Amino acid sequence: MAYACASDEKTFDNSPNGRNSLFTSHLLKHVTEPNLKVEAMMSRISDGIYRDTNGEMLSHRQVSFRTSDIYFNRADAKGMHSNRTCAYRSCLQQISFVSFSIVVQSITPYPARWKSDGETVAGGHGEGDRADQLKYPFGLFVDEDQTVYIADCVNHRIMGWKAGATTGEILAGGKGRGDGLDQLNHPSDVIVDREIDFLIICDQWNRRVMRWPRRPSSNQQPEILIDNIACWGLIRDDHGSLYVSDGEKHEVRRYDKNGAKKGTVVVGGHGKRRNRNQLHTPNSLFVDAQSTLYVSDYENHRVMKWMKGAKEGIVVAGGNGRGADVTQLDCPQGVWVDGCENVYVADWGNNRVIRWEKGAKRGTVIVGGNGEGERANQLSGPHGLFFDRLGHLYVADSGNHRVQRFSLC
């Protein structure tokens, strides 16, 4: 496994003294954990290496599985090994030694940079409800094959846009604004539950979270997962728990995989002020492998980090009032966090995406920030953002009714 130490240098994981190498030491901490996906395991290994070397080694990993549902040590509910697809399953019934071969195709210099000009991958033909149009897209989800799932908010539908396609496909809603089981009303976010092949949709103005079959040809029907909630954003963790932000109660609730509909308040819930245990209209969410939750605190113009079980959050971006300085945010929307705990924010009011490195007091504009407009290097009210497995950045450029992809330099 190779690590980037500087933009023009690299070092390899080796063990000249015969002991476990750095990578192997961290691998052995996780290799026997049941039901741990390979992608999640590799993320934890990378984070551990980064911590142990005080940031000297930034590991690069390339995922080439056709599906993300690859387990290293799959077990069923009773703890017995399953016959479902897993990596090297036959070798892992009894684990005594594991050999890894990791091919490094490229080393991305840190910090990474993206091209200033974006490429339109969905919409971009004005606002409208044709198959080649969007109308104020909000939340995004990008699958391994680079299919983009879009909460097409004011068209009251979820669109699926395959890589290279000139038109999208209606996957949910699209039957006018309404509260029927086959309708949506201003959906604000969408994620994909790959295990059961369903979409999970934040049906904002209907005050509910829906589960919808991802394939329109499916005989399965949409259903209401959670109702009576002013939902704005949602995310799932590696354990299958669902987190939903409530913009009226100024809180985030966790709903465990067992289907409990009440949920547990894990962030906020103490009114709508700006103390460290409070939120004011939370929207987009991100959760990491350690179940640390990151929340776009919209009306407080900041992003908060909440460790699992914490009673208070930590400001990791903004928090210096509403404004356009690089120390400020203006109504933050989408949020994403990389393996080094750098925070990426769709800074809606400033028409930019800005990165706050871990512990930084100011951010760095990575795309946009060139005034509101529709040129390739401009944004207009960005909402959702998502990084695919190759590091490309996708932005729901809401005011321009399009989705932009910014490639790594």
pLDDT surpassing 90 at residue 255: yes
| Identity at 113, one-letter amino acid code | R
CA distances from 385 to 329, 353, 398 (A): 16, 9, 11
Q: Which residues contact 103 (CB under 8 A, 6 or more apart)?
A: 62
- pLDDT at residue number 7: 46
CB 138 within 8 A of CB 151: yes
Residue 390 pLDDT level (bands cut at 50, 70, 90): confident
Residue 126 has a CB neighbour count (10 Å cut-off) of 14
CB 202 within 8 A of CB 156: no
- pLDDT at residue number 194: 84
CA distances from 188 to 222, 243, 337 (A): 17, 14, 20
| Identity at 31, one-letter amino acid code | V
> CA gyration radius for the chain?
21
pTM for the whole thing?
0.75
Residue 72 pLDDT level (bands cut at 50, 70, 90): low
Nearest-5° Cα angle at 167, 162 to 170 = 80
pLDDT surpassing 60 at residue 82: no
Phi, psi of 26 (to 5 degrees): -75, -35
The mean of the pLDDT values for the chain is: 82
Q: Which residues contact 157 (CB under 8 A, 6 or more apart)?
A: 170, 171, 172, 173, 174, 184, 187
Ordered alpha helix ranges (H), 81-220: none
Distance CA 244, CA 233 (A): 6
The residues pairing with 408 across neighbouring beta strands, listed in sequence order, are 114
Distance CA 210, CA 227 (A): 9
Q: Which residues contact 77 (CB under 8 A, 6 or more apart)?
A: none
- pLDDT at residue number 110: 53
290-333 pLDDT, tens digit each: 899 999 999 999 999 999 989 999 999 999 999 999 999 999 99
pLDDT surpassing 50 at residue 228: yes
Q: Which residues contact 223 (CB under 8 A, 6 or more apart)?
A: 181, 210, 211
Closest to 22 (Cα-Cα) out of 35, 5, 6? 5
Q: How many residues does the chain have?
A: 409
CB 356 within 8 A of CB 365: no
295 burial level (CB within 10 Å; 0-12, 13-18, 19+): buried
| Identity at 401, one-letter amino acid code | H
Distance CA 310, CA 137 (A): 33
Sign of CA dihedral 109, 113, 115, 120: positive
- pLDDT at residue number 260: 62
Residue 259 pLDDT level (bands cut at 50, 70, 90): low
**Higher pLDDT among residues 31 and 13, named by residue:** 31
